[in-house]
């Protein structure tokens, strides 16, 4: 059982390496991180706070959009693609159970994604450290960002599997994945902040808004990272909210893990009914 | 004797308006090779998908090693080679067989011998994306043979193979059956099947119209033998007059002879003495038997 899960995971990582997925994802993260870190922080970097801390703040926003996208792009193919290409028949005829197969895919994709994030953000962090001569205070923040980015990726991998198990064509699954990204990441966030602007000081801003924020995995991720950053490093509308949450910041992590678990269970249940 | 590895009892399956399988019953015992014959659309693949638990029958029951399809026991007992087998393009042949060997808890040391057995040792380190249809088929066979399955399901396994590798293929199947596996293989092209299976089951538009050994089917179907008598140039007309039958290609006469009349027919031929130079008896081919059962089923339906 565990052996089978690891076998599927290892194969998935191997395919990820060969398809250049890992390299592509890492490069994408690295380039965006460098642009934000080196270009974006140069004016504020000279004021008072550690450039790395400032970079982490902008990387949190970057991750919120980019990591779910990469995760969904990895995940949409997991089941629908194998059905479409006809490779799933042999797997489902072999002794591995469907849940174990899904678990293996998840572990493998998490490995690919984790590797890309560590590589991309790690390299960016090192570069910023070398160029700006950051104090090193931001190191813990960067590590936290990397770990929570992987957790964010896990949630969207699982959500991607729900989409992938629900349809039979790769193309449909891809469209579904992009749609999920648009709605769950981009539009949800836009809508929420739009509502906040319309009702900046009311009941909504104080007691409803933070809960709506933490209910979405992408916003929960950013909220958590902002809340734990040294305040003063950034002055966005979000950092004010993050410093005055009506609940402990750890609730955001719970939201991430809750989404991951719920989506994995849902994907497994849908997958069980699939006729290859 | 133990119960058959595969027991299919009165299984029916309907897709929308198509009755893909209609009351099919079939058993396959350990060590037995059964050929499932039928034209395209007869329901062969559907039967395999039911045995694998990919889809459920409307009624009837299927047991594999005494368990329901799709259960852990059943998945461990069955190996499958799909009709058009596909593999991840960026994995090598060896990696793919290793992958399935691991899933089947087969030691890694058996991977290379398996690749050798199906003739892919030289291509083992190439990506499966570069393989031809026949090579994919053999790779699929290699993974299916891993770990001595109790039931081997092969859906049109020789359709992509050239005649030479077909021979190798059937000798592999013989080895596997001799080692105790139950083998169920399907085919719509009959020529290469003869005498290579213990039993032939003929499926026609979802119904099992025959299920017996080739000899039994030959006898039961009463498809006549074909006797070809060769005569000299100048005697062929006389031979034709005395024996009846039809003249073919100038020098030969072809007779259709019911199996029970075989000896008396042969006596008549030898009585012709020097008029005849040679003769040749051919058993009813599977093709003819197949045609017999197919059309009979159709006639019965119409009446
Ligand atoms: N998933 C399906 N949906 C609808 N019809 C199907 C499906 N699978 C098979 N059929 C129909 O069932 C019949 C038997 O198909 P199949 O088992 O693939 O035949 P064979 O393998 O003998 O060529 C065909 O008429 C086919 O069109
Ligand atoms: Mg078929």
- Measured in angstroms, the CA of A87 and the nearest CA of chain B are apart by 5
Task: Establish whether residue B15 lines the binding site of ligand 1, counting it when its CB lies within 6 angstroms of any ligand atom.
Answer: yes
Q: B44: Cβ below 6 Å to ligand 1?
A: yes
CA distance A269 to A244: 39
**CA A217: distance to chain centroid?**
8
Are A3 and B105 in contact (CB < 8 Å)? yes
Domains and CATH numbers, chain B: 6-218 (3.40.50.300), 224-283 (3.30.70.120)
pLDDT digits (tens, 9 = 90+) for B237-262: 888 888 888 888 778 888 888 877 88
**Hey, which bits of B178-268 come out as E strands?**
182-187, 199-204, 207-212, 225-231, 246-248, 252-257
- Strand-pairing partners, residue B14, are B19
Tokens describing residue B53: 């638990």
Give the angle A170-A172-A175 at the CA atoms, nearest 5°: 110
Nearest CA to ligand 1 atom 3: B15
Count residue pairs from A and B with Cβ separation < 8 A: 66
Residue B80 is encoded by which pair of tokens? 């499958």
Question: Looking at ligand 1, which residue's alpha carbon is closest to its atom 24?
Answer: B41
Interface membership of A17 toward B (CB under 8 Å): no
Under the banding of pLDDT at 50, 70 and 90, the label for residue B124 is very high
Contact B252, B230 (CB under 8 A): yes
CB B55 near ligand 1, within 6 Å? no
8 A C-beta contact, residue B210 and residue B293: yes
Q: Who's near A81: CB < 8 A, 6+ residues apart?
A: A164, A170, A173
Which pair of structure tokens corresponds to residue A162? 């729900």
pTM: 0.88
Residue B302: pLDDT over 50: yes
**Which residues are registered as beta bridge partners of B26?**
B8
Q: How would you classify the pairing of strands B78-81 and B59-64?
A: unpaired
Is any ligand 1 atom within 6 A of the Cβ of residue B41? yes
C-alpha B43 to ligand 2 mean position (Å):
7
| Residues in A touching B49 (Cβ below 8 Å) | 275
What is the DSSP secondary-structure string of A23-67? Answer: HHHHHHHHHHHHIIIIIITHHHHTTSS-HHHHHHHHHHHHHHHHH
Do A37 and A56 contact (CB within 8 A), yes or no? no
Q: Is the C-beta atom of B40 inside 6 A of ligand 1?
A: yes
- Burial pattern B182-196, b for ≥16 Cβ within 10 A else e, equals bbbbbbbebeebeeb
Residue among B70, B20, B42, B51 at smallest CA distance from B153: B51
ipTM of the complex: 0.90
Minimal Cβ distance to B91: which of A15, A90, A91: A15
Angle between helices A98-132 and A2-18 (to 10 degrees): 50
pLDDT digits (tens, 9 = 90+) for B8-59: 999 999 999 999 999 999 999 999 999 999 888 999 999 999 999 999 999 9
Rounded CA-CA distance A47/A41 in Å is 10
**Using CA atoms, how far apart are residues A51 and A139, in angstroms rounded to an integer?**
11
Q: In chain A, which residues have their Cβ closer than 8 Å to the Cβ of B52? A: 92-93
Closest CA to B68 of B81, B80, B54: B54
Q: What is the pLDDT along chain A (276 residues), one digit of tens a residue?
A: 789 999 999 999 999 999 888 888 999 999 988 888 777 655 444 445 677 777 888 889 999 999 999 999 999 999 999 999 999 999 999 999 999 999 999 999 999 999 999 999 998 888 888 887 766 677 888 999 999 999 999 999 999 999 999 999 999 999 999 999 999 999 999 998 888 888 777 777 778 888 999 999 999 999 999 888 865 555 565 666 776 788 888 899 999 999 999 999 999 999 999 999
Closest CA to B149 of B78, B233, B70: B78
């Amino acid at each position: 059982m565990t052996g089978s899960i690891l076998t599927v995971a290892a194969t998935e990582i191997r395919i990820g390496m060969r398809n250049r997925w890992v390299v592509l994802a890492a490069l994408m993260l690295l380039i965006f991180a460098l642009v934000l870190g080196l270009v974006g922080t140069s004016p504020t970097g000279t004021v008072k706070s550690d450039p790395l801390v400032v970079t982490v703040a902008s990387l949190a926003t970057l991750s919120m959009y980019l990591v779910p996208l990469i995760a969904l792009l990895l995940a949409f193919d997991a089941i629908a693609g194998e059905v479409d290409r006809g490779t799933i028949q042999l797997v489902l005829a072999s002794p591995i159970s469907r849940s174990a197969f899904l678990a293996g895919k998840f572990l493998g994709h998490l490995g690919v994604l984790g590797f890309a994030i560590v590589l991309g953000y790690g390299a960016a962090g090192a570069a910023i450290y070398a160029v700006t001569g950051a104090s090193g205070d931001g190191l813990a923040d960067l590590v936290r960002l990397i770990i929570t980015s992987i957790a964010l990726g896990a949630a969207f991998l699982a959500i991607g599997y729900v989409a992938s198990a629900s349809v039979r064509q790769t193309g449909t699954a891809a469209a579904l994945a992009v749609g999920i990204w648009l709605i769950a990441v981009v539009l949800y966030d836009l809508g929420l902040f739009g509502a906040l602007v319309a009702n900046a000081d009311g009941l909504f801003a104080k007691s409803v808004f933070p809960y709506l924020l933490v209910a979405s995995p992408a916003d929960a991720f950013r909220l958590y990272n902002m809340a734990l950053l040294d305040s003063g490093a950034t002055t966005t509308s979000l950092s004010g909210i993050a410093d005055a949450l009506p609940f402990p910041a750890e609730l955001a992590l719970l939201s991430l893990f809750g989404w991951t678990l719920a989506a994995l269970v849902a994907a497994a249940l849908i997958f069980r009914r699939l006729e290859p | 004797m133990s119960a058959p590895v595969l027991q299919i009892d009165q299984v029916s399956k309907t897709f929308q308006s198509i009755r893909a399988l209609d009351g099919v019953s079939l058993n396959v015992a350990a060590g037995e090779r059964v050929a499932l014959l039928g034209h395209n659309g007869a329901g062969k693949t559907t039967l395999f998908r039911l045995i694998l638990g990919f889809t459920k029958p409307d009624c009837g029951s299927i047991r594999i090693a005494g368990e329901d399809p799709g259960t852990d026991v059943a998945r461990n007992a069955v190996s499958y080679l799909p009709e058009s087998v596909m593999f991840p393009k960026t994995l090598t042949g060896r990696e793919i067989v290793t992958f399935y060997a691991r899933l089947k808890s087969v030691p890694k040391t058996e991977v290379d011998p398996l690749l050798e057995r199906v003739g892919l040792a030289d291509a083992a380190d190439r990506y499966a994306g570069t393989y031809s249809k026949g090579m994919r088929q053999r790779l699929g066979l290699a993974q299916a043979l891993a770990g001595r399955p109790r039931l081997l399901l092969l859906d049109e396994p020789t359709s992509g193979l050239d005649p030479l590798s077909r021979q190798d293929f059937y000798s592999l199947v013989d080895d596997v059956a001799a080692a105790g596996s139950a083998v169920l293989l399907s085919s719509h092209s009959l020529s290469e099947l003869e005498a290579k299976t213990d039993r032939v089951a003929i499926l026609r538009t979802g119904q099992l119209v025959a299920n017996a050994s080739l000899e039994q089917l030959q006898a039961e179907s009463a498809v006549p033998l074909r006797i070809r008598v060769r005569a000299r140039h100048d005697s062929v007309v006389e031979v034709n007059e005395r024996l009846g039958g039809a003249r073919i290609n100038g020098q030969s006469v072809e007779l259709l002879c019911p199996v029970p009349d075989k000896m008396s027919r042969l006596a008549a031929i030898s009585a012709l003495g020097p008029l005849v130079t040679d003769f040749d008896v051919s058993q009813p081919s599977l093709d003819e038997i197949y045609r017999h059962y197919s059309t009979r089923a159709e006639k019965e339906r119409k009446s």
